[in-house]
Amino acid sequence: MTKVGRDFSYTMQSLAVPPVSADVMFASTRFPNYKIGANDKIVYGNEDQKLVSMKEVIAKETAQLLEQQKRLSVRDLASKFEKGLAAAAKLSDEAKLRDVTCLEKHVLLKKLRDALESLRGRVVGKNMDDVEDAIAMVEALAVQLTQREGELIQEKAEVKKLANFLKQASEDAKKLVDEERSLARGEIENARAAVQRVEEALQEQEKNSKASGTQDLEELMKEVQEARRIKMLHQPSKVMDMEHELQALRIQLAEKSKRSIELQKELAISRRVEESTSYLFELNGTPALGSYLQIQPSSKKTSQLSQSSIQWYRFTSENGNREIISGATKSIYAPEPSDVGRILQADVISDGQTITLTTSDPIEPAAGLGNYVEALVRRHDTEFNVVIIQMNGVDHPSESIHVLHVGKMRMKLCKGKTTVAKEYYSPSMQLCGVRGGGNAAAQASFWQPKIGLSFVLGFESERERNAAIMLARRFAFDCNINLAGPDDTAAQKP
């Protein structure tokens, strides 16, 4: 006993089935997308749903366009028709693709039925029943495909009708747009012509009005002159009154001229007296930030300044007031940033006589100082090399270099890693130029961090001193604090 018989029979059966012809061409490499439902009915998938939904959208948009045709503008109507036409063309293309797909399905079903028919003559028993069922299923698929082809043909005809309708409507809309454009252009040209005519009429009227206006004005002036002449001839009393008034005005003018000459003589005498007294002292120096002003006797016969009393003031020319500069009682004074744009005065009391000296011009700012300070404002902390000249009013013997830190919130004085003073900006803090001193006054400043502690600091240059004062006042102002010298904010009259 061998198993060759059974294996040989199956081998012969498999060889007996003819293969699919080589000339069959499949347009698609996948099996059609359908399912077999109840009673062996074929149910198609998403393709039919997509086609139906597109058709419904086109129908809905067409209905909306027909309803809104009366109230839409011509341009909007044309745009809507063009969109509908594009959608119809797209639907037509999809229908063509469906036709090609259906043709491929027919070819596939035909090949499959031929293969099953050839197979039915070579199988027996249970396999025969399976082949019969397969043939019945293929025939049902063919029937379903034929029905679907009929529906597609009907839908294609409807889509073609809809496309033709939309194409005609689009052409009508374009004609309407062209007509409206031509009408609008004609109206615009008419309006331009009317405006040009109005402008020409206005220009001509303006020329005529100017000519007639000058002529009317000349005639009116002649009439007024003639009326005045006639009125003067008929009313001689009024002319006499006017002559008397003119005579009285001439007399008053002569009296005022005499009084003016007398006042000028008195003013000249007073000026001579003042000049004779002011010549006792003179004010030397450039009225600019970075320099210093010095009061000196004009001659050897003048009493020495050590025997005189001095007080410096800031003079405001707008209201004529003077602000006393507290502590400025020396013969030398170096202007500080608060003095820029203002005139400085100094009262010298000598032998019971008060002599006032005034700068020739307001204090001028230092060149480039503003830009330098603006560059320093961007930093969080700026360092200046200084020397302590005085501490709490007592001379400081050491001349070692210290570092003054000017920050956005506080000021700090250090020597190496040792902190000499460190305070936040507060109303008790004071900072100003030194008020007195010698030739180095323009490089020194007064700093009071808190009550009971004060310094006189010497900087490397006048620019560094003025920049430190301006920078610290700027940061203090940002903290709502007015950083100035002692009693600088109190304006006093002498």
Summarize pLDDT for 210-258 with one digit per residue, the tens: 777 777 778 888 888 877 777 666 555 566 667 777 878 888 888 887 7
Three-state SS string over 151-215 comes to HHHHHHHHHHHHHHHHHHHHHHHHHHHHHHHHHHHHHHHHHHHHHHHHHHHHHHHHHHHHHHHHH
What is residue 18's predicted lDDT score, i.e. its pLDDT? 47
Q: Which residues of the chain have pLDDT under 50?
A: 1-31, 46-52, 72, 490-494
pLDDT tens digit string along 132-157? Answer: 777 788 778 777 877 877 787 888 78
Burial class of residue 393 in the structure, from the number of CB atoms within 10 Å of its CB (0-12 exposed, 13-18 middle, 19+ buried):
exposed
Six token digits for residue 402? 């210290």
CA 136 to CA 143: how far, in whole Å?
11
Maximum C-alpha span of the chain? 174
Q: Are 413 and 458 in contact (CB under 8 A)?
A: no
pLDDT score for 301: 56
**Could you tell me the CA-to-CA distances from 33 to 30, 45, 105, 108 in Å, in that order?**
8, 6, 11, 14
Q: Answer yes or no: are the C-beta atoms of 336 and 443 closer than 8 Å.
A: no
CA angle, 110 then 34 then 14, to 5°:
45
Other CB atoms within a 10 A radius of the CB of residue 382 amount to 20
> How far apart, in whole angstroms, are the C-alpha atoms of residue 20 and residue 115?
7
Give me 276's structure tokens: 């004779």
| pTM exceeds 0.75, yes or no | no
